[in-house]
Structure 1
Amino acid sequence: MTQTARGSVEIASARSETFQSIDPRTGEVVGEHPIHDAETVNSRVASTRKAQREWAELGFAGRKQHLDKWRKILAKRLDELAGVICAETGKPLDDARLELVLVLDHLHWAGANAEKVLKRRKVSSGVLMSNQVSTVEYLPFGVVGVIGPWNYPAFTPMGSIAYALAAGNGVVFKPSELTPGVGEWLVRTFAEAVPEYPVFQLITGFGETGAALCESGVDKVAFTGSTATGKRVMASCAQSLTPVLVECGGKDALIVDSDADLAAAADAAVWGAMSNAGQTCIGVERVYVVEAVAERFLEMVAERAKKLRPGAEPGAEFGPITMASQVDLIREHIDDAISGGGRAVVGGRDSVRPPFVEPVVLADVPEDSAAVAEETFGPTIVVQRVRDADEGIARANDSRYGLGGTVFSRARGMELARKLRSGMVAVNSVISFAGVPALPFGGVGDSGFGRIHGADGLREFARTQAVTRTKFKIPLNPMSFARPKSTVGTVVRLIRLMRGR
């Protein structure tokens, strides 16, 4: 498999036993890593499973203690890992550091909240089973396979890794072939912090390695990548009924109402669209702005976008397009938008200068254009005029994707947010939901299903077990061949009396 937008894994043949990771800014080789075959993958899953049993027996407090040790190492050596991220993705240092700030916060939340969310708790047994003590708890699956992306190579997979480990699972991690060094660094530092429990192991390689992980007997697979590859992962896992969590593409929209703070909305739109060179699954790709304020809003967006500069040097606002093949798709989307009658307000066709793409602001693009309908994954944004915010919501929802969304409105923010068909929404801010560890993260439609982060994320990596325990015998027991003939009739009369009104 080779990488497509957001780190999806596509089929390719691996012709050597090792492969190189490359700095996309310079083409320089920054690391060499093994291509693991199915035998190695199976071996690592087996060894992780063996270690996982003892890891689970540590209990929540014991696991938290070890995860805290790892977190302190990550915090102390944050700039070291940020350097690896920069070298493999090309993103500016501060962007990498910001990514790792989120990693630390989520790792802390997962360890601190796992017991409260997953521990055994009593539930009501109801009238018919009043002689039973009923409990539910969330037990670890066993071994979770995590297939990660390259755009946020630490933050995104750690949304699965940290929560799976806190829930008592072992993890076998396949990072993107574009960022294997980040995965190696994470696994190595975990081993430094927790040498006695090798429950977090690494596999590297291309698509064949990822496919082998899906077929290895892991108890769940968490995948981040393209919708097309997510479907292939699901098809592979379906052969063994292995459950999957799938976080795929997005075409996230920002709605600007007539009463919005336009300066804040313009700032959010440009950050959401251009940060990380637009290579953000929950980034802003479309804006629907109410006609009454559209011209002023567009001026503000253009003013901010014109100031941004991509590059490899420390002062650049964003870096290169990490995956070289994505440049062609970005160019195609820009061409299609302009050819269809859209306006290039900032930049245009000449903004594509591999490996960099300068900011591009497009306006009045046909809704059936690829730039509006498909994930671009570059520093581009399409601004569309609408009659009112409700029309903006309708257009935003007219998409096969449904990952994140943004609303700027003083009076109707929460109302409009609830109408968006998306897994997450930020009101009068952008992408803020990703920074809240207690909030679940995930999409609907072609953006995937399942949730990482928060209590939902912890439960995603645990299997539910319901238990009843008899406290005392009851005189009316309908679940016995020794029951009197009148028992069921008595139970029916009782339930009609209590539940038939």
Structure 2
Amino acid sequence: MTEPTFDSLSPLDGRVVGTFPIHDSEDVQKVVERARTAAPEWRTLGFPGRRSILVAWRRYVARHAAELAGVMRAETGKPLGDAQLEILLALDHIGWAAKNAERVLGRRRVPSGILMLNQESSVERVPFGVVGVIGPWNYPVFTPLGSITYALAAGNTVVFKPSEYTPAVGQWLARSFAEVGGDPSVFQLVTGFGATGSALCRAGVGKIAFTGSTATGKVVMAACAESLTPVVIEAGGKDALLVDEDADLDAAAEAAVWGAYSNAGQTCIGIERVYVHERVYDQFMKKTTARVREIRAGTDEKATLGPITMPKQTAIIRDHIADAVSSGGTLVLGGAPERGVVFPPTLLRDVPEFSDAVREETFGPTLVVNRVATMDEAVERANAVRYGLSGSVFSRKHGRDLASRIRGGMIAINSVISFAAVPGLPFGGVGDSGFGRIHGDDGLREFTYPKAITRQRFPLLTLTSMRRSGRVDRLVGRIIRLLFG
């Protein structure tokens, strides 16, 4: 019987990038079993042994970055420069996880307290065994490696299910790990559609790390709930940038344009809304409009804004633009093309807050810029959506105060998306943006569970005995009064 397959098609020209198997539940189960068998040896390598392989892998990826960037461009359509930047950030995270895993996860002593002074107490972090990673297509290297490398550094083996839009990138990553001497069973790939991801959730892995839409995240959680498999969910966002009256407007405009249109707006932590103090609104709009005019969308190598990777997303983008205009907003630049997957950078202003373009994730090259009378109003509007992923603030005097009031897991002051490039910082959101964290100390801990251990150093007053005497009970009463009364 012929194994079912699917083609990965390039959004640049529709050509077939590669053909990949559609793994069913039986296939996935076999892969997970291989990973489970390999897990003890991978864990036994210890932090130094795993670090050595991860560092070698990072070196390999760095030396072959141009090749990997080409595969990324073929499958996502993003400009080579954007692909290269993504690889750079991923390399930094591989190195950080490899270097810091022992510091964060190694065994640590814990004070036993007066009552248990005869006990030596410690906590160690134990890997789950096998971690399943379900990755997205928009950042097919940086985002999944934020889970994969941290899980590997922590001592887990990994089964990776890439998006059906970027299986060639996933294949490249798995193959490159094996190229540097990593056991192929330690980092494996399964490919297919939603059913394959669902099978991974039900295959008995120790934990699932998912990145994708909020709707799909809920489906993943429901599947994992059947077996109480823990999950970390990094879902959608509707991030806002706040521009105070004392902000550096040139820097704020540059940041808004980059945050909105890089990767064709297909960024969960991208900027989709800007709230500008009315005293500087017109100046900000003038500077932003000038910068947006410089962007050229296309599929050729000189285009600075690439196509939409997932064709069905184009309908959502069109609907949001149409709704913004029909509800009273003003289209400044761009707009939805009649057909095709290349959208011009679209700039909207004065869009009502009830519009889908303001409240729902667009995930395309659009930006809404609205004026506010005060920064209190800006904070209120920024927080008035169901998402809580990230955001940005531009202000010379009030940046930290405003940032502390924005609901979200990551906020940048006088920059955008900078937190994602700091390996030591946790990455994740709240509300419909998900829960749990990748990256940083928290990201390493996410792929382990704490194990408490006590060891009796010498015998003391025995309280945990069915033969405990009345004299001991009376002594306990005196101890209670002495210590806590």
- TM-score tier, shorter chain, comes to over 0.9
Letter in 2 for 1:413: G
Per-residue deviation, residues 19-57 of structure 1 (Å, max 9, x unmatched): 111110111111111111111110010001111110000
What are the equivalent positions in structure 2 for 1:30-45 lying under 5 Å apart?
A: 30-45=17-32
Matches within 5 A, 1:310-459: 310-350=297-337, 353-459=339-445
Residue 122 of structure 1: SS of its match in structure 2?
strand
Answering whether residue 15 of structure 2 is matched by residue 28 of structure 1, we say yes
The aligned counterpart of 1:166 is 153
CA distance in 2, matches of 1:277, 1:243: 33
Q: Is the 8 A contact 1:51 1:197 kept in 2?
A: no
* RMSD of equivalent CA atoms: 1.4
Q: Report the count of equivalent residues.
A: 484
Q: Deviations over 1:233-269 (max 9, x none)?
A: 1111111110011111000011111111111011000
What does residue 6 of structure 1 align with?
A: none
Distance 1:124 1:183 in 2: 45
Contact residue 336 and residue 343 of structure 2 kept, 8 A: no
**1:16 & 1:292 partners in 2: Cα distance?**
63
Contact 2:335 2:343 in 1 (8 A): no
Aligned counterparts of 2:30 and 2:77: Cα–Cα separation in 1: 33
Q: Indicate the SS of the match to 2:347.
A: strand
Counterpart secondary structure, 2:85: helix
Relative distance call for 1:492 and 1:437 in structure 2 (3 A) is: farther
For the 8 Å contact 2:317–2:336, the answer to whether it is kept is no
Q: Deviation digits for residues 64-108 of structure 1, max 9, x if unmatched?
A: 011111111101101100000000000000100000001110000
Q: Deviations over 1:109-129 (max 9, x none)?
A: 000000000000001112222
Residue number in structure 2 paired with 1:7: none
Q: Does 1:230 align with 2:224?
A: no
Query: Do the aligned partners of 2:297 and 2:305 also contact (CA within 8 Å) in 1?
Result: yes
Mapping of residues 238-257 of structure 1, within 5 Å: 238-257=225-244
Aligned to 1:478: 463
Structure 2 CA distance for partners of 1:127 and 1:389, relative to 1, 3 Å: same
CA–CA distance in structure 2, aligned partners of residues 197 and 205 of structure 1: 19
- The secondary structure found in structure 1 opposite 2:95 is helix
C-alpha distance 99-27 of structure 1, shift in aligned 2 (>3 A)? same
| Residue among 174, 177, 194 paired with 1:187 | 174
Say whether 1:494 aligns with 2:479: yes
Q: Is the Cα–Cα contact under 8 Å of residues 162 and 170 in structure 2 kept in the other structure?
A: yes
How far is the alpha carbon of 1:196 from its aligned partner?
A: 4.0
What is the aligned partner in structure 2 of residue 207 from structure 1? 194
CA distance in 2, matches of 1:200, 1:33: 17
Aligned residue identity for 1:216: A
The C-alpha deviation readout for 1:357-412, integer Å capped at 9, x for no partner, is 10111111111100000000011011111111121111111111001110111111
Letter in 1 for 2:250: A
Show structure 1 runs of 5+ residues with no match: 1-14
Tell me the CA shift for residue 478 of structure 1.
Answer: 2.7
* Runs (5+) with no aligned partner, structure 2: none
Q: What amino acid sits opposite 2:105 in the alignment? A: L
Separation of aligned partners in 1, 2:477 and 2:173: 60
- Determine the structure 2 residue equivalent to 1:51: 38
1:313 aligned counterpart, secondary structure: coil
Which residue type is aligned with residue 319 of structure 2?
A: E
Structure 1: how far apart are the matches of 2:481 and 2:137?
A: 59
How far, CA to CA, are the matches of 1:155 and 1:57 in structure 2?
27
Identity %: 61
8 Å contact 1:55–1:197 — kept in the other structure?
no
CA distance in 2, matches of 1:498, 1:279: 59
Q: Deviations over 1:123-157 (max 9, x none)?
A: 11122222211100111100000000000001100
**Structure 1 length-normalised TM:** 0.94
Q: Which amino acid aligns with 1:345?
A: V
Match for residue 129 of structure 1 among 96, 113, 116 = 116
Q: Could you state the TM-score of these two structures normalised by the residue count of structure 2?
A: 0.97
